[in-house]
């Protein structure tokens, strides 16, 4: 049970992008974060297809966060695929319970999935510019990963 290197790199890249001003090229980002460049490019492309970052080609191009704020959950799901704690490919609703132990085991694992999702969705990466503009009301218990405004 682990987070892949791909996701770990992706997470760090996103945090780095959140702290940056304009678009950052893959090369630059790779250097900043000490991530193999070609590999990072693949990661960024996946994040782009998931709508998490946006890219601009050409001379002054690069990558930037697409939304004001992304959750860690979104990034992990985009890169590592869906969290599937139980191996048989079961949709949310239908759990075939051939044997008594299956149902109960699957039940726990599903509960775990929900817990993981809840935890990870609560942690977000926000762009500096947009920080603290989000929640209109009182300061929600929402952790932010990117660098604090100091």
- Residues near a second copy (CB under 8 A): 1-5, 7-8, 11-12, 15-16, 19, 32-34, 72, 76, 80, 83-87, 98-102, 104-105, 107-109, 111-112, 115-116, 119-120, 123, 143, 145-147
59 binds, among a second copy, DNA, none (CB under 5 to 8 A by kind): DNA
Q: Which is nearer to DNA, 64 or 95 (CB)?
A: 64
Mode of pairing for the β-strands spanning 53-56 and 69-71: unpaired
Q: Which is nearer to DNA, 22 or 93 (CB)?
A: 22
Interatomic CA distance for residues 55 and 126, integer angstroms: 17
Name the minimum Å distance from CB 20 to DNA.
12
Q: Which is nearer to a second copy, 51 or 108 (CB)?
A: 108
* Torsion angle in degrees (nearest 10) through CA of 74, 79, 83, 89: 130
56 binds, among DNA, a second copy, none (CB under 5 to 8 A by kind): DNA
Name the minimum Å distance from CB 14 to a second copy.
9
Q: Which residues of 35-48 are buried (b: 16+ CB within 10 A; e: fewer)?
A: beeeebbebbebbe
Find where tokens 């993981």 sit: 116
Q: Which tokens is 29 given?
A: 């980002």
């Amino acid at each position: 049970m682990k987070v892949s290197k791909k996701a770990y790199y992706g997470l760090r890249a996103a945090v780095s992008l959140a702290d940056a001003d304009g678009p950052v090229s893959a090369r630059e980002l790779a250097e900043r974060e000490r991530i193999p460049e070609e590999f990072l490019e693949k990661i960024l492309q996946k994040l782009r297809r998931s709508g998490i970052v946006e890219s601009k080609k050409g001379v002054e191009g690069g990558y930037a966060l697409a939304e004001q704020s992304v959750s860690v959950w979104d990034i992990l799901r985009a890169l590592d695929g869906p969290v599937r704690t139980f191996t048989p490919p079961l949709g949310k609703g239908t759990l075939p319970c051939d044997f008594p132990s299956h149902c109960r085991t699957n039940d726990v694992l599903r509960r775990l999935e929900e817990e993981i999702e809840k935890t990870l969705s609560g942690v977000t990466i926000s762009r500096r510019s947009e920080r603290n503009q989000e929640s209109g009301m009182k300061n929600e218990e929402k952790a932010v990963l990117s660098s604090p405004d100091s």
